[in-house]
C-alpha cells in the first residue's frame, strides 16, 4: 500500500462526487476567487517592502514589516479556523486491511500541506524574500526568515486541527490569545513589539528559527497522537447506551398545524450532536459585538457596526437556517413520500429561527453599556434578521444540498466546517445587506435614518412573509429530485 494509492482514492472520491459534477459555475467562481487571492498575495509580497519604505521612511521597512506580521499570524489563525477544511478520509475500509495506521495518519496529515492556505503564504513570503535579497539584505538571514515563516504557516495549519477537534486546545489557545491581547490593549506589556523582535530575530540571530521549526514537529506529533488515539469508529468498538430524554412538548400544540413539525425540530435539536453544536456556536455569536464596539476605528464606520449588530442576534438564525433542509437529510425520502406541506415545514423552521433571534436579542441587553445608539442598532439588526435575513438564509439553505449526519459530532475523521462555495455566495447578501441598507440612508440623511431603514427592512420582510415563503417553497419543489439524490449520497 503506497501513499500514491491513497492519493488516487482521494482523487476518485473528489472527482466522482456528484457535487463535483454539478457545480460547474460555482467551481469557476471558486477558481477565479483563488486566482484573485494568489495574484493579490504575490503582488503584496513584491510591493510591501517598497510601500513600507515610503510610508515610514525613518525606519528599516523590514523591521516595520516584522512588527505587523503578528496581525497576519492572528488573521491566518482566524481564517483557517473558520474556513479550512479538515482532513477527511473514510477510514473504515482501512481498519481491517494490513496497512499500518501510521501510514494512513501520516498521509492524512501530509495531505493538508497542499492546502490553499499553505500555498498562499509561500506566494507572499517568496517575493518578499526576493525583494529583501535584491535590496542587499543578508542572503542567508533572508532565507532563514522565509523558512521560519513557512514553518509558522504550517504550525497554524496543524494547530488549527487541534483547535477544531479538542475543546481543551481550543480554550487554551483562546485563553492565551485573550491574555496577550489584554496585555497589549491595557498597555501592560507591548506584546506586539515582542513578536516583532522575535520575527526580526529570525533574520538577525538565525538560530531563533529553531522555535517555529521545532513547533511544527511538536504540533505534527500532537496531531498524530490525537488521530491515533481516535482511530476507531464511534460506537463500533464501544457500544454506547443512550438514555432517551423525554420532554413535555405539549405546550407547542398551540401552534396548531405547525406543532407537528415544531415538536420534531425541537427533538432534533436536543437529541443530536451536530445541531447541539450549532446552538453552542450561536451563543458565541452574542459576543461578536465586543470586537467591534470596543475598537475606536469602527466608531466612525457605522456600516461595520450595522454588520456586527446583525451578527449578534443572528447566530442561530444563520448557522441553523443555512442547513435547512439538510437537517432532515437522513430521512428526506420519508418526508418526500409523506403528505407534508412544504409551507408548514418551512414555517416551523422559520419560527424556530425567529424565536432564537428574539432570545438572542433579550440576551444582548447588556450591550446598553456601550450606549443606546449601539443597542438600537442591535434592535434594528434583529429586525432585519427576523424579517429579511431569515428568508435569505432559508433560500440559501434550499440550494445548499449537503447531507448531514445528525449525530456525528466533530470527530477526527469528520468534516466539521461544512463550508462550500454555494454557502459563500449566498452569504454575500446576508453580510452586505444590512451594511447597504444602513449606509445609504445614513450617508444621505443621518444616523437615525439608517437605523430606521434597517428596522423597516425587517418589517417589510414580515409583511411579505407569505410571498417569500412561496419563493423558497418553489425552490424546494423544483429541486426535489436533485435534493433527494444529493442526500442519498453518503459522505
Residue ranges binding other proteins (CB under 8 A): 241-244, 246, 260, 263-264, 267-268, 271-272, 330-334, 336-340, 406-407, 481, 484-485, 488
Q: Which is nearer to other proteins, 167 or 243 (CB)?
A: 243
Q: Which is nearer to other proteins, 229 or 245 (CB)?
A: 245
CB of 64 to other proteins, least distance (A): 56
CB of 398 to other proteins, least distance (A): 18
Nearest-5° angle of CA 434, CA 440, CA 443?
125
Q: Are 320 and 282 spatial neighbours (Cβ–Cβ below 8 Å)?
A: yes
Q: Are 402 and 326 spatial neighbours (Cβ–Cβ below 8 Å)?
A: yes
Q: Which is nearer to other proteins, 213 or 336 (CB)?
A: 336
DSSP per position, 185-222 = HTTSS-HHHHHHHHHHHHHHSGGGGHHHHHHHHHHHHH
Nearest to 392 by CA among 358, 437, 439, 359: 437
CB of 488 to other proteins, least distance (A): 8
CB of 328 to other proteins, least distance (A): 8
Q: Which is nearer to other proteins, 179 or 334 (CB)?
A: 334
Q: Which is nearer to other proteins, 4 or 243 (CB)?
A: 243
Q: Are 283 and 315 spatial neighbours (Cβ–Cβ below 8 Å)?
A: yes
CB of 270 to other proteins, least distance (A): 9
Long-range contacts of 350-355 (CB under 8 A, 24+ apart): 350/390, 350/391, 350/394, 350/469, 351/255, 351/258, 351/262, 352/262, 352/265, 352/266, 352/269, 352/320, 353/316, 353/317, 353/320, 353/321, 353/390, 353/393, 353/394, 354/317, 354/386, 354/390
Write out the three cell numbers for 9.
Answer: 482514492
Q: Which is nearer to other proteins, 15 or 339 (CB)?
A: 339
Q: Which is nearer to other proteins, 113 or 488 (CB)?
A: 488
CB of 143 to other proteins, least distance (A): 52
C-alpha torsion angle, residues 468, 288, 271, 408 (rounded to 10):
100
CB of 244 to other proteins, least distance (A): 4
Nearest to 215 by CA among 166, 150, 168, 169: 150
Q: Are 430 and 393 spatial neighbours (Cβ–Cβ below 8 Å)?
A: yes
Q: Which is nearer to other proteins, 136 or 339 (CB)?
A: 339
Nearest to 387 by CA among 488, 313, 277: 313
Q: Which is nearer to other proteins, 12 or 333 (CB)?
A: 333
364/374 Cα distance (integer angstroms): 11
Give whole-number Cα distances, 288 to 90, 108, 278, 293, in Å: 35, 33, 16, 9
CB of 296 to other proteins, least distance (A): 48
Write out the three cell numbers for 204.
Answer: 538577525
CB of 259 to other proteins, least distance (A): 8
Give whole-number Cα distances, 85 to 9, 33, 161, 248, 329, in Å: 18, 17, 9, 39, 21
Q: Which is nearer to other proteins, 244 or 284 (CB)?
A: 244
CB of 458 to other proteins, least distance (A): 32
Q: Which is nearer to other proteins, 249 or 399 (CB)?
A: 249
Nearest to 377 by CA among 316, 294, 450: 450
CB of 271 to other proteins, least distance (A): 4
CB of 231 to other proteins, least distance (A): 23
Nearest to 84 by CA among 144, 153, 166: 153
Residue 287 three-state SS: coil
CB of 491 to other proteins, least distance (A): 14
Q: Which is nearer to other proteins, 229 or 241 (CB)?
A: 241
Q: Which is nearer to other proteins, 316 or 332 (CB)?
A: 332
368/374 Cα distance (integer angstroms): 7
Amino acid at each position: 500500500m503506497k501513499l500514491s494509492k491513497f492519493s488516487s482514492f482521494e482523487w476518485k472520491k473528489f472527482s466522482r462526487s456528484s457535487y463535483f459534477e454539478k457545480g460547474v459555475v460555482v467551481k469557476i467562481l471558486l477558481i477565479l476567487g483563488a486566482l484573485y487571492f494568489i495574484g493579490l498575495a504575490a503582488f503584496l509580497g513584491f510591493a510591501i517592502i517598497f510601500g513600507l519604505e515610503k510610508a515610514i521612511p525613518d525606519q528599516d521597512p523590514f523591521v516595520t514589516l516584522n512588527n505587523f506580521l503578528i496581525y497576519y499570524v492572528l488573521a491566518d489563525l482566524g481564517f483557517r479556523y473558520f474556513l479550512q477544511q479538515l482532513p477527511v478520509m473514510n477510514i473504515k475500509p482501512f481498519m481491517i486491511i494490513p496497512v499500518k495506521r501510521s501510514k494512513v495518519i501520516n498521509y492524512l496529515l501530509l495531505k493538508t500541506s497542499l492546502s490553499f492556505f499553505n500555498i498562499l503564504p509561500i506566494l507572499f513570503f517568496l517575493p518578499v524574500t526576493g525583494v529583501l535579497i535584491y535590496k542587499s539584505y543578508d542572503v542567508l538571514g533572508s532565507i532563514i526568515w522565509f523558512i521560519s515563516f513557512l514553518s509558522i504557516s504550517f504550525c497554524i495549519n496543524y494547530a488549527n486541527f487541534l483547535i477544531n477537534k479538542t475543546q481543551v486546545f481550543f480554550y487554551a489557545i483562546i485563553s492565551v490569545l485573550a491574555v496577550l491581547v489584554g496585555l497589549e490593549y491595557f498597555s501592560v506589556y507591548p506584546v506586539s513589539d515582542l513578536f516583532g523582535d522575535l520575527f526580526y530575530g529570525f533574520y538577525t540571530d538565525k538560530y531563533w528559527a529553531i522555535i517555529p521549526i521545532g513547533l511544527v514537529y511538536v504540533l505534527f506529533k500532537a496531531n498524530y497522537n490525537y488521530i491515533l488515539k481516535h482511530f476507531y469508529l464511534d460506537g463500533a468498538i464501544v457500544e454506547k447506551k443512550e438514555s432517551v430524554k423525554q420532554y413535555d412538548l405539549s405546550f407547542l400544540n398551540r401552534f396548531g398545524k405547525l406543532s407537528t413539525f415544531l415538536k420534531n425540530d425541537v427533538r432534533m435539536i436536543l437529541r443530536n450532536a451536530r445541531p447541539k453544536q450549532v446552538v453552542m456556536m450561536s451563543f458565541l455569536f452574542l459576543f461578536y459585538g465586543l470586537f467591534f464596539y470596543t475598537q475606536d476605528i469602527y466608531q466612525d464606520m457605522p456600516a461595520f457596526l450595522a454588520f456586527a449588530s446583525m451578527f449578534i442576534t443572528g447566530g442561530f438564525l444563520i448557522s441553523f437556517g443555512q442547513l435547512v433542509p439538510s437537517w432532515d437529510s437522513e430521512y428526506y425520502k420519508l418526508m418526500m413520500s409523506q403528505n407534508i406541506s412544504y409551507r408548514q415545514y418551512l414555517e416551523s423552521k422559520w419560527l424556530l429561527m425567529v424565536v432564537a433571534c428574539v432570545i438572542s436579542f433579550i440576551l444582548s441587553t447588556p450591550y446598553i453599556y456601550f450606549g443606546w445608539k449601539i443597542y438600537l442598532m442591535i434592535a434594528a439588526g434583529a429586525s432585519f434578521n427576523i424579517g429579511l435575513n431569515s428568508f435569505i438564509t432559508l433560500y440559501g439553505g434550499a440550494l445548499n444540498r449537503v447531507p448531514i449526519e445528525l449525530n456525528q459530532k466533530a470527530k477526527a475523521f469528520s468534516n466539521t466546517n461544512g463550508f462550500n462555495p454555494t454557502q459563500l455566495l449566498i452569504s454575500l447578501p446576508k453580510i452586505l445587506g444590512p451594511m447597504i441598507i444602513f449606509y445609504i440612508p445614513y450617508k444621505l440623511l443621518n444616523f437615525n435614518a439608517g437605523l430606521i431603514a434597517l428596522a423597516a427592512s425587517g418589517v417589510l420582510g414580515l409583511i411579505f412573509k407569505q410571498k417569500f415563503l412561496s419563493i423558497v417553497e418553489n425552490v424546494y419543489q423544483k429541486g426535489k429530485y436533485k435534493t433527494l439524490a444529493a442526500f442519498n449520497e453518503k459522505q
